């Protein structure tokens, strides 16, 4: 994910809500009659005015808003209610640490800051049940950068998740506590079901309305999630079935080796993943439409890398990759090309780099197994996923918070007969 500039500055306005300085709104001196009129206002109105004044000035006595947490926490930072909320999402995976900071717009959100760093938190987990010290230190350094960015951007609503590495490591919970102490970020170790749901939510805008269904998949560092989704004539996609494989680019590369991959070794990787996929493939046989009625939708570094190589990009460009379509033949052609490159040549490619050079062929093997199990005509590429799903869910939760009903006085002379109560409308979810 490339970083986006803010492009705007927020200024905090000061409302003119108080007349206690002896001036009227027109700037003249208040008369005795004016002061008496203010004094004789009903108590309820005066209380309401005091509450408004406290809210505008940030008075801690204001009990109507949410409680604010310190800036380094994973929740709200002190901010005037006049300013729009700033949202943040952190995804700490087996291989990457990613952050998105965004503000709501009419049709979704606008990214104002982003960050991504390869930390390999799950390094060595294939042969051990512990996160190693170096991997945890790398992840902590990246999370400190995320914490600083969130504070500078004035984040008010955030969610930070940790996935497969922290799920499977025996010292995962202890690492989460250390992260909270040293960065203020509260990581939530999510279940595979939650991870699958967030992936679908983040990629939903790329589901093609010309197809009735899609197989959405997320090839991660330590696991791979697959979701069978129906979206025809539906306001939001419906997950019909899903699975999570304890197999990702890091774990597969550590098992088979990622530096020197022959075609025979590559086929062994594909066979391994195909066996893991077989039970899910069998479950979907009865529901599988023809190849032309569904498409694949992939979100991962694997599919974005393959697409960048296919497009011949001299430098990775998210605008050209996110939402692009690529066929099975093009995927196979890129895989063949990468199998013919040495580790140094893969590292020198602008869309791969040194940090992914030993992982990219493991990702290609997972994708090849998926293509063989579900030979759809086209694959849509998503440079988006869990972070976007988190942002959509945070905004949807804010949108659906019910507003307090205000009591209205009936005018004198109005009878109750013939009157009809109107229920307040509920806010919808962000699409």
pLDDT at residue 228, rounded to an integer: 94
| Mean pLDDT, range 88-100, rounded to an integer | 96
The percent of residues above 90 in pLDDT, for the chain, comes to 64
Q: Which residue ranges form the domains of the chain, and what is each CATH number?
A: 86-190 (3.30.420.40), 204-388 (3.30.420.150)
Averaged pLDDT for residues 14-25: 35
Q: Distance (Å, rounded) from C-alpha 116 to C-alpha 99?
A: 6
The three-state DSSP-derived secondary structure of 5-48 is: CCCCCCCCCCCCCCCCCCECCCCCECCHHHHHHHHCCCHHHHHH
Looking at residue 291, its pLDDT comes to 59
Instruction: Say yes or no to pLDDT of 360 above 70.
Output: yes
Which of 2-16, 83-97, 237-251, 252-266 has the lowest average pLDDT? 2-16
Which DSSP letter does residue 58 get? T
How far apart CA 139 and CA 93 sit, in angstroms, is 10
Residue 87: name the closest of 76, 68, 102 by CA.
102
Task: Please tell me whether the overall predicted TM-score, pTM, comes out greater than 0.85 for this model.
Answer: no
The closest of 399, 386, 391, 385 to 103, measured between CA atoms, is 391
Q: What is the mean pLDDT of residues 358-387?
A: 95
pLDDT at 10: 34
pLDDT at 74: 44
Phi, psi for 350 (deg, rounded to 5): -65, -20
Contact 64, 55 (CB under 8 A): yes
What's the pLDDT band for 405 if we cut at 50, 70, 90? low
Angle (nearest 5°) at CA 318 between 359 and 428: 110
Angle between the 263-284 and 360-373 helix axes, to the nearest 10 degrees?
A: 40
Say which residue, 285 or 104, is predicted with more confidence: 104
Identify the residue with better confidence: 345 or 37: 345
pLDDT tens, position by position, 30-84: 444 443 444 444 555 555 555 555 544 444 444 333 333 434 444 444 555 568 8
Strands 86-92 and 213-219: unpaired
Helix (H, G, I), strand (E, B) or coil at 186: coil
| 264-270 contacts at long range (C-beta below 8 A, 24 or more positions apart) | 266/339, 266/361, 266/364, 266/365, 269/361, 269/362, 269/365, 269/366, 270/365, 270/368, 270/369, 270/372
Residue 161 neighbours by CB under 8 Å, 6+ apart: 90, 91, 92, 187, 188, 189, 190, 194, 195, 198, 386, 390
Instruction: Work out the average pLDDT over 277-284.
Output: 94
What pLDDT sits at residue 49? 57
Higher pLDDT pick, 65 / 90: 90
Report the pLDDT averaged over residues 225-235.
85
Does 400 have pLDDT greater than 80?
no
Residue 334 pLDDT class (50, 70, 90 cuts): very high
């Amino acid at each position: 994910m490339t970083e986006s500039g803010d492009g705007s500055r927020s200024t905090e306005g000061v409302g003119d809500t108080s007349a206690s300085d002896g001036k009227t709104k027109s700037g003249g001196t208040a008369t005795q009659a004016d002061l008496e009129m203010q004094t004789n206002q009903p108590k309820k109105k005066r209380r309401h005015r005091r509450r408004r004044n406290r809210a505008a000035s940030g008075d801690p006595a204001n009990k109507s808003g949410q409680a604010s947490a310190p800036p380094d926490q994973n929740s709200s930072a002190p901010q005037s209610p006049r300013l729009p909320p700033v949202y943040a999402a952190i995804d700490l995976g087996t291989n990457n640490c990613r952050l998105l900071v965004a503000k709501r717009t009419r049709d979704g959100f606008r990214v104002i800051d982003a960050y991504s760093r390869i930390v390999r938190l799950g390094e060595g987990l294939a042969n051990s049940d512990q996160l190693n010290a170096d991997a945890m230190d790398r992840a902590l350094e990246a999370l400190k950068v995320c914490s600083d960015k969130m504070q500078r951007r004035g984040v008010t609503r955030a969610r930070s998740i940790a996935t497969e590495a922290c799920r499977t490591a025996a010292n995962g919970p202890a690492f989460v506590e250390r992260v909270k102490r040293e960065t203020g970020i509260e990581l939530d170790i999510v279940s595979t079901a939650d991870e699958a749901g967030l992936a679908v939510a983040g990629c939903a805008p790329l589901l093609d309305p010309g197809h009735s269904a899609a197989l959405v998949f997320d090839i991660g560092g330590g696991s791979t999630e697959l979701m069978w989704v129906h979206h025809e004539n539906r306001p939001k996609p419906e997950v019909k079935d899903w699975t999570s494989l304890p197999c990702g680019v890091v774990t597969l590369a550590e098992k088979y080796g990622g530096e020197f991959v022959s075609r025979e070794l590559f086929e062994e990787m594909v066979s391994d993943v195909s066996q893991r996929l077989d039970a899910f493939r069998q479950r979907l046989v009865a529901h599988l439409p023809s190849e032309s009625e569904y498409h694949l939708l992939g979100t991962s570094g694997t599919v974005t890398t393959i697409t960048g190589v296919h497009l011949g990009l001299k430098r990775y460009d998210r605008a050209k990759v996110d939402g692009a379509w690529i066929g099975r033949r093009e995927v196979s052609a890129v895989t063949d090309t990468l199998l013919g490159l040495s580790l140094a040549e893969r590292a020198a490619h602008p869309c791969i780099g040194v940090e992914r050079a030993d992982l990219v062929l493991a990702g290609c093997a997972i994708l090849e197994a998926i293509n063989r199990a579900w030979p759809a005509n086209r694959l849509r590429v998503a440079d988006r996923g869990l972070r976007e799903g988190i942002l959509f869910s945070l905004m949807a939760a804010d949108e659906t918070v019910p507003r307090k009903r205000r009591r209205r006085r009936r005018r004198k002379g109005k009878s109750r007969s013939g009157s009809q109560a109107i229920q307040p409308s509920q806010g919808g979810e962000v699409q």
